[in-house]
């Protein structure tokens, strides 16, 4: 049984399949399951203490989200992502998140603005301590709050899928010199747009911030062997 997740005590608002999906997503994002690694059903079922039926259903979900890929004669594997595919993912994410940001500003919720300010303050603090792990978590929360403030559930779900896919490369992005300070400034600018009620400006800034990461990843892909990506 996997000690990191008790499948016998799944939270009531989550199905067993959803919990399996979340667990495997986390392992892929953290690199515990590497690109090209075969997903052996018997081994996973034994480790998780589950039957093959919910695992296979979870596989289908993860495949639809781009985390897994079915290879002829090889079965289900952790997907390998080409630079072209990754660029497409970032472009889609940029447009989804910028739309959510636009809607969030237009909804004019003062509680959302206050929460963004609080998170930004914490981000500045951990950046000064050079704690990139804590910064990344706060950054995710900041944009999660933005997405939820759009009040568009389908949009929120789509954003979550693409954010998780790009999280596989968060170490690459945040290891870029000057990235934390540029990120802090970007969040400050977004908050200022909220304060002004300028939805279009906030939308443009969020799109540009995400698209800027593509160049960082291009440089990374030129340094790494394709088999390792």
Do 104 and 72 fall into the same domain? no
Of the three residues 28, 44, 78, the one that is the final residue of a domain is 78
Share of the chain above pLDDT 70, in %: 91
Do 53 and 114 fall into the same domain? no
Establish if 1 belongs to a structural domain. Answer: no
Instruction: Determine the structural domain holding residue 160 and report its residue range.
Output: 83-228
* Tokens describing residue 137: 């978590």
Distance CA 56, CA 54 (A): 5
Establish if 2 belongs to a structural domain. Answer: no
Share of the chain above pLDDT 90, in %: 64
Do 126 and 205 fall into the same domain? yes
Residue 105's CATH number: 1.20.120.530
Do 47 and 104 fall into the same domain? no
Distance CA 55, CA 42 (A): 10
Largest CA distance in the chain: 57
Average pLDDT for the chain: 88
- pLDDT tens for each residue of 92-145: 999 999 999 999 999 999 999 999 999 999 999 999 998 888 998 999 999 999
Do 131 and 70 fall into the same domain? no
Task: Tell me the three state secondary structure of residue 76.
Answer: strand
First to last CA, the chain: 30
What global pTM score does this model have? Answer: 0.77
Of the three residues 57, 78, 99, the one that is the final residue of a domain is 78
Number of domains in the chain: 2
Do 11 and 36 fall into the same domain? yes
């Amino acid at each position: 049984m996997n000690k990191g997740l008790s499948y016998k005590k799944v939270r009531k608002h989550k199905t067993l399949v959803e919990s399996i999906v979340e667990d495997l997503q986390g392992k892929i994002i953290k690199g515990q399951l590497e690109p090209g690694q075969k997903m052996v059903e018997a081994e996973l079922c034994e480790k998780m203490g589950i039957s093959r039926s919910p695992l296979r259903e979870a596989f289908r979900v993860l495949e639809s989200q781009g985390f897994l890929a079915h290879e002829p004669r090889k079965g289900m594997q952790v997907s390998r992502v080409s630079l072209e595919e990754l660029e497409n993912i970032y472009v889609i994410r940029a447009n989804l998140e910028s739309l959510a940001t636009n809607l969030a500003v237009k909804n004019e919720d003062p509680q959302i603005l206050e929460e963004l300010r609080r998170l930004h303050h914490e981000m500045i603090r951990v950046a000064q301590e050079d704690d990139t792990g804590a910064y990344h978590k706060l950054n995710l929360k900041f944009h999660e709050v933005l997405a939820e403030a759009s009040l568009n559930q389908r949009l929120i779900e789509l954003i979550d899928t693409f954010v998780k896919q790009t999280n596989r490369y968060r170490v690459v992005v945040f290891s870029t010199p000057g990235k934390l300070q540029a990120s802090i400034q970007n969040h400050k600018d977004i908050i200022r747009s909220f304060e002004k009620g300028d939805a279009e400006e906030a939308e443009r800034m969020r799109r540009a911030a995400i698209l800027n990461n593509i160049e960082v990843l291009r440089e990374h892909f030129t340094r790494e062997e394709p088999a390792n990506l």
